Structure formats: structure tokens, C-alpha cells
Structure 1
Amino acid sequence: MLDTLPSPTRSLSSLASQERSFTFSHFTCEHAWVIGNILRNALRTADAPAIIHISLSSSQTLFHAPSMPGMMPDNETWVARKRATVLRWGHSTWYLGCRFEGDERGFAEYYGVSGEERGKYTVEGGGYPVFVKGVEGVVGAIVVAGLEGEQAHGCIVKAVEEYRELRDGFRSPMRSVTGK
């Protein structure tokens, strides 16, 4: 899968539009479970060890799993940094990486992030915002850590697109068909 992913765009307007086009009507643990498993299966098929993390802005973890053995403890640090960046700035880390041409220092200086706080954020691709219709701001984050940023971003976009196609017209068995 990773070799077949098209390179993500570097156009900021296209990236921002793409992020908003994935606005959910609602977002629950059911959504996270399906998206997380799409990602995990794709990464396992590609023989790519990575950590998949999906959480709400309230810090509630909805999905967290390695794709396969081979994770390093640093991957957890990257999950936290990517998640924090998405939640604070409301864009994917790939968007911010493109905006600052991968320059972590320029990013930090622009936003006045210094000292120890600087290590809490990153512009390395692999963090993606979750938006919900009618809710202002980012509701959660989808993160892949352990891949190159470009691959991680592409993998998340492909998984969310696959999820959207899978869910199109599907009604959860958890909800009553009659609306009761």
C-alpha cells in the first residue's frame, strides 16, 4: 500500500480543503475502531511497523495499536507531538510541514514556541484533524507514527477515504432503524 500511495499535495489551500471535506456528522469510538483497523490492516499488508492512535480533544483514547512488532519507545513520543500539534493548530501536521517547508525551528519561532514547550510539537506528517459538523474546532486527531511523514499522511487520507466509502449509506446496528 505504501508504495502505491500517491504523493500528497503540498498546496496549502488543497490540503485545508481536503481536511474540511472529511467532516463527520458525528464521531464515536465506532468510527475510530473502523478507521484504526483500516489503517492497521493496510500497514500490516505493507509490512510497515507503526503506531496508530485516534483520540478525542478531551484526551480520551478511542484507538491505540501497533500495526505489527518493531515499535520503538520514541514512536509514543511522536504520537504525542503529532496529536498536540493537530489539536493546537487545527490542521494536519503535513499541512503545517508544507507551510513551513519542514522547518521545525521556523515553525516554533513563528508561533513563539520555545524552551521545553518546543519539544511538544512537530511539523512531521502523520497527524490528522477530526472535524464534526456543527462543532467549532478540532474534535480529535488521527495519528500514525513510525513512517516517513509523507507516507503517514497519505496512509491516513487513504484510510479516511476508504472509511467514507465503506460507511456511505450504512446504518449502524447500534441505532434503531425506526428512530426510536
Structure 2
Amino acid sequence: MSESDVTAIITEVEAQEVELVLRSFTHDDAWRLGNLLVELAVERDLPVTIDIRKGTQQVFHAARPGTTPDNDSWIKRKVRVVYRFGASSYLVGLRAKAKGSDFNADHGLLFQEYSAHGGAFPVRVEGVGIVAVATVSGLAQQDDHALVVEALRELREAQPLV
């Protein structure tokens, strides 16, 4: 991937994070988002694990055939990146790549604890900020990320205007 490709993807992901701010996000919304992700995964026969956390509380979790407990480990590491850096795990990793740096070494973080690979996306609420993280693990990182973005867009479009 060229430097200009990385820059273009960073711009796209930054725009997604601005676009996908919700009006609210309740436990019921987390359930809806999780179910949207499961429906997409079932329709496409995707081997993914899906996880939604509000703060430290896991409020939705599903594992499809073809996944392993290792996917749960990836989810935890990606979620930590979102909460620590306030951006999607994909964006954090892309920014490190654009600088030609090693994310974990630069921040003194163990890879077993933090992973700046795509798939964990911050759930933001207008006027509040990050209230949850939606994560997919099992595909290539850009595909994990894209699946979460697709489901968040659908959830956002279904929310009533305030």
C-alpha cells in the first residue's frame, strides 16, 4: 500500500468517525447493532466474532462458525486501543503506518494488550462523546472495520430525529 493510499484511507476513516455520531445509544441500541452485525455475517457466511461494550461492560457478544477464542483476544486488544486513543483501531493503526512507526513500540504497549488493527469502532453520541465500542474480528482488518461501519450507518439511519 502506497503512502498516498494510506493517506486517502485515513481521510475516509476520519470522515466515517465524524459521520457516524448517534443521537443516543442505549443497551437496546447495542442489542440492535449486534443483531444487525450478526444478520450481515449470516447473510454473507462470514466467520466473525462480534462484540459491543458500553464502558467496560460487555453488552453483546456473538461468535460465528469458523472463529476461535483467539478472536476474543483480538477484540479485547482492539477495544483497549479505541478507549485509550479515542479513535477506531483501524485509524490508530493507519496513522502509525503513515508515520512509518511501530504502534506498540512507540507507545510502550504490549501487543498482547493493545492491537491497532481494524475492527473496533467508537460509538459516539452527540454532545457526549464515546459511550461504547463495537468490534468485529475474523476478517482482514479493513473488512472487520467496514462491517462495523455498515451496521452503524444502518443503525444511525433508523434512529428518529430529535
Secondary structure at the aligned position of 1:62 is classed as strand
Structure with greater strand share of residues: 2
Q: 2-side partners of 1:75 and 1:62: how far apart?
A: 17
Structure 2 letter corresponding to 1:55: R
Secondary structure at the aligned position of 1:80 is classed as helix
Q: Which of residues 72, 77, 91 in structure 2 aligns to 1:76?
A: 72
Aligned to 1:19: 17
Q: Which of residues 154, 164, 167 in structure 1 aligns to 2:146?
A: 154
Confirm whether residue 60 of structure 1 aligns to residue 53 of structure 2.
Answer: no
Report the RMSD for the aligned CA atoms in angstroms.
2.4
Deviation at 1:103, TM superposition (A): 9.3
Which stretch shifts more, 158-167 or 94-103?
A: 94-103
Structure 2 letter corresponding to 1:81: R
Structure 2 letter corresponding to 1:87: Y
Mark the CA change 1:135 to 1:124 in structure 2 (over 3 Å): closer, same or farther.
Answer: same
Larger Rg: 1
Structure 1: any 5+ residue segments left out of the alignment?
A: 1-7, 172-180
Structure 2: any 5+ residue segments left out of the alignment?
A: 1-5
Q: Which of residues 82, 85, 88 in structure 1 aligns to 2:84?
A: 88
* TM-score normalised per structure 1: 0.78
* TM-score normalised per structure 2: 0.86
Mark the CA change 1:103 to 1:79 in structure 2 (over 3 Å): closer, same or farther.
Answer: farther
Structure with greater helix share of residues: 2
The count of aligned residue pairs is 157
